Homo-oligomer: A and B are copies of this chain.
Amino acid sequence: MDMGNRKRLILQAIIEDYINHAEPVGSRTISKKYLTGTSPATIRNEMSDLEDMGYIEQPHTSAGRVPSDKGYRLYVDKIMKQNTIDEAQREMIRRKFVDSLGEIDRLVKHVSKLLSQMTQYTSIVMAPQFRRTSVKQVQFIRIDKAAVLAVIVTDAGILKNIILRLRQDVTQDTLIRISNMLNDKLSGLGIEDIESIDLHDMLNDSMGHGEIIEQVVSELIQTLLYSDTTEVYRDGVSNILNLPEYSDINKARSFLNIMEERELLFKVLNDVRGDVNVSIGSENKLEQFKECSLITATYKVNDKTIGSVGIIGPTRMEYSKAIAIVECMTKNLSEILTSILRR
């Protein structure tokens, strides 16, 4: 069947009305509010076609139509006009960003809050992931006779620290020598590469500190590789309760449960590729998101992707606005991070 221009307009009307009011849209409404020149009957015929084509659905016989996932998809890909958020808003975002200079984690948390506030949906944000970068240097600070703080500076300038518990005392001096040696061996390596390092080689150079080095390296690997310490922040979880689709307490509960599963959110964010991404309802791989839409985007430092953010909302999301906001936000975040961490 052919997708005439009028069908397109009607689909758009249905989607945009449904986005705003969360209620099935009937032919009369469309005739009155959107296509004033066309009678309800005509619209009904077109709607019937649209339903056959799978773009809209009827919750029950005597209700209006609601968009299907396929309908939203078409809308996002072809119909929706780019929502360019206005300069005032853009400026607002920029200013807010500069305000929160300081610690990177705080910046990221701030982004999460901003995202949820501006979209009125739930936001999730992953802190910069430095596994994707490579090690630049490792430094040690002796805290006391049983504990050493290891500080890792990476490619992207992001750092992380790990407390190492040692079985034997070491002087700050020894630590400096160890770190010099480690820097020799490790610097430039991707963090994944560290795993495959030949420890023996290193132990030969160990100047009698074999045990310490072994412990340090293995703890390093452990921490870096296996403990996913990358923080995931969320904000605006309660926004979801403002939506009529979550007035059912059970749905609300299951949504909240999802939002408390850090692992899950991490997985979602970690799989994000490309720039801005939209997954609608059933397009989501994860069962738990089959009734939501997700807008995700990545952010970068020096053009290297190191993290991602996302917006979670109902399938009747204000795609155009949400996409624009997410886009602007990650662009700014990337810029700021890059400038903060410039080497």
Contact = CB atoms under 8 A, between A and B. Distances in A.
A157 B144 contact: yes
Number of copies: 2
Interface in A234-276: 235-238, 241-242, 246-247, 249, 252-253, 256-257, 259-260
Interface stretch (A23-31, A146-154, A209-217): A146-154
A102 B147 contact: no
A241 B237 contact: no
Nearest to A241: B253
How many residues of A sit at the interface, in one of the four size bands?
35 or more
A260 B241 contact: no
Nearest to A246: B249
Contacts of A252: 241, 249, 252
Give chain A's interface secondary structure class.
mixed
B253 A242 contact: yes
A238 B106 CA distance: 25
The 6 closest A-B pairs by CB, nearest first: A238-B256, A241-B253, A139-B141, A238-B257, A144-B343, A247-B249
A45 interface: no
Interface in A125-159: 139, 141, 143-144, 146-147, 149, 151, 153, 157, 159
A162 interface: yes
Given A143-B153, A247-B249, 14 more contacts: A103-B162, A104-B163, A139-B141, A141-B141, A144-B157, A144-B343, A149-B151, A235-B260, A237-B237, A238-B253, A241-B249, A241-B252, A242-B253, A249-B249
9 contacts: A102-B227, A106-B227, A141-B151, A143-B157, A159-B163, A238-B257, A238-B259, A241-B253, A242-B253
Interface string A96-111: 0000001110100000
Contacts of A256: 237-238, 241, 256
Contacts of A104: 163
A147 B102 CA distance: 12
Contacts of A146: 342
Contacts of A153: 141, 143, 149
Nearest to A238: B256
A257 B149 CA distance: 38
Contacts of A163: 103-104, 159
- Indicate the member of A106, A260, A342 with the most B CB atoms within 10 Å: A260
A230 interface: no
A161 interface: yes
B139 A159 contact: no
Nearest to A139: B141
A333 to B, nearest CB: 17
A229 B102 CA distance: 11
